[in-house]
Amino acid sequence: MRAAPAAPPLPTLALVWYFCLLVGGGILWHILTRPVGSPGEAPRPVLIRPQTSAYRIATALKDAGIIHSRLGFLAVTIVRGTHRRLLPGEYEFDPHVPLLEIVRRLEQGRGLVHQVTIPEGLAARQIAQLLADRQLVDQGRFVRLLGDRITLEQYRLEGGSLEGYLFPDTYRVVKGQGEEAIIERMIRRFQEQFGPDAQARARELQMSVREVVTLASLVEREARVPEERPRISAVFHNRLRRGMLLQSDPTVMYGLSRFSGRLTKAHLQAPSPYNTYLNRGLPPGPIANPGRASIMAALYPDSSQYLYFVSKNDGTHAFSRTLSEHDKMVRRYQIGGGG
């Protein structure tokens, strides 16, 4: 009777199994992670909102035809330890891009970047509208956050609103990054501009940061040519020292719930904390978000003794030291309607 062949040594059997698993795993990995499309196909958009789970991201990518397999996507992110750290944003993926590159872009937040410019002098609600028109924020939520107590405590800024602290500049924004992130960038930019030197100067003037920003917002709304900012600031400083009403039209406009067109006498008599024709001193807070030039003008007014100014209807103003001089300028440029 012929003896049965001897079983292969255990190490050899283990190597065979290891080889089979390796080959099988490689084939499975290739199936799960291979690109969906071919070069030349149009990029496919996908929007990942904040706090979206890796599974929902995988589902969105698969539904958009960007990946073959949710399982493959989840496996890659888990192996890389980034499944909880994928960043929201608006992305466009070429269908032929490998899965690993898709994952890397989500890890680094390399989405579509929108360049948006916030002009000087806009009120917070106008900034919210501008960003909403670009589909970068939810307008209502953006406005609510500006008065949110927790948000205010986070930045340790005076007042009941972030009005005045949304620094006008050009920002690069990724859609989907969230209202909080955009607000934070604007506040941080303001804090960079209003640094230790500006804070020291505010103390010299015996003004708080909020008072300086409030005054700067008036300068921003009144000035039309850059060289007039320090002089307009001087008018307000001079009137504040004398206890005079500031009588600034933009403060009245800010306090009106609905305003369009031209200010009337009825508007000037409408009760509001922001009506500087009725209330002495600065308004309760900023009426707009001033740029650096207006902040510097508020901190460093020129040495003129003017107490009045009136528009000359060409972007510049006529300045006066006395009420009688001012009345003449009003008759010349406003009532007379000419130069």
Percentage of residues in the chain with pLDDT exceeding 70? Answer: 86
Co-location of 158 and 236 in the same domain: no
Q: What CA–CA distance (Å, rounded) separates 266 from 273?
A: 16
List, for residues 242-300, the tens digit of each pLDDT value: 999 999 999 999 998 776 778 888 888 989 999 999 999 999 999 999 999 999 999 99
List, for residues 146-191, the tens digit of each pLDDT value: 998 888 888 888 888 999 999 999 999 988 888 999 999 999 999 9
Predicted pLDDT at 199: 96
Q: What CA–CA distance (Å, rounded) separates 288 from 309?
A: 20
Co-location of 211 and 237 in the same domain: yes
Is residue 335 a part of any domain in this protein? Answer: no
Taking alpha carbons only, the member of 47, 44, 158 closest to residue 97 is 44
Co-location of 261 and 218 in the same domain: yes
Is residue 49 a part of any domain in this protein? Answer: yes
Q: What CA–CA distance (Å, rounded) separates 225 from 294?
A: 11
Give the chain's domain count.
Answer: 3
- pTM passes above 0.85: no
Instruction: Indicate if the pLDDT at residue 23 is higher than 60.
Output: no
The answer to whether 111 and 91 are in contact (CB under 8 A) is: yes
Is residue 147 a part of any domain in this protein? Answer: yes
Q: Where are the alpha helices (DSSP H) in the chain?
A: 10-33, 54-63, 70-80, 99-108, 124-133, 139-146, 149-155, 179-193, 196-204, 209-222, 229-242, 249-255, 265-268, 292-299, 323-330
Q: What CA–CA distance (Å, rounded) separates 117 from 288?
A: 16
Percentage of residues in the chain with pLDDT exceeding 90? Answer: 64
Burial 153-192 (b: 16+ CB within 10 A, else e): eeeebebebbbbbbbbbebebbbbbbbeebbebbbebbee
Contacts of 142 (CB under 8 A, 6+ apart): 127, 128, 131, 132, 179, 182, 183
Range 196-209 average pLDDT = 97
Co-location of 84 and 128 in the same domain: no
Identify which has the larger pLDDT, 206 or 157.
Answer: 206
Is residue 157 a part of any domain in this protein? Answer: yes
Predicted pLDDT at 164: 97
Is residue 257 a part of any domain in this protein? Answer: yes
Q: What CA–CA distance (Å, rounded) separates 79 from 176?
A: 26
Is residue 312 a part of any domain in this protein? Answer: no
Q: Write down how long the chain is.
A: 339
Taking alpha carbons only, the member of 278, 155, 276 closest to residue 222 is 276
Cα angle 17, 22, 25 (rounded to 5 degrees) comes to 120
Categorize the per-residue pLDDT at 218 as very low, low, confident or very high, splitting at 50, 70 and 90: very high
Predicted pLDDT at 89: 86
List, for residues 126-138, the tens digit of each pLDDT value: 999 999 999 999 9
* CATH number of the domain within which 70 lies: 3.30.1490.480
Pairing assessment for the beta strands 44-48 and 89-93 based on DSSP bridges: antiparallel
Q: What CA–CA distance (Å, rounded) separates 42 from 36?
A: 12
Co-location of 71 and 104 in the same domain: yes
Co-location of 89 and 139 in the same domain: no
Categorize the per-residue pLDDT at 1 as very low, low, confident or very high, splitting at 50, 70 and 90: low
**What is the enclosing helix (H) or strand (E) of 318?**
strand 317-320
Is residue 334 a part of any domain in this protein? Answer: no
Cα angle 267, 271, 272 (rounded to 5 degrees) comes to 100
Co-location of 143 and 232 in the same domain: no
What distances in angstroms separate CA 259 from CA 22, 139, 251, 252, 263, one per listed residue?
73, 20, 12, 10, 8
Predicted pLDDT at 24: 47
Co-location of 97 and 59 in the same domain: yes
Predicted pLDDT at 94: 86
Predicted pLDDT at 339: 46
Alpha-carbon Rg for the chain, nearest whole angstrom, is 31
Domain limits for position 92: 41-111
Is residue 261 a part of any domain in this protein? Answer: yes
Contacts of 339 (CB under 8 A, 6+ apart): 312, 313, 314, 332, 333
Predicted pLDDT at 286: 97
Residue 224's CB: how many other CB atoms inside 10 A? 14
- Choose one of 111, 133, 153: the last residue of a domain: 111
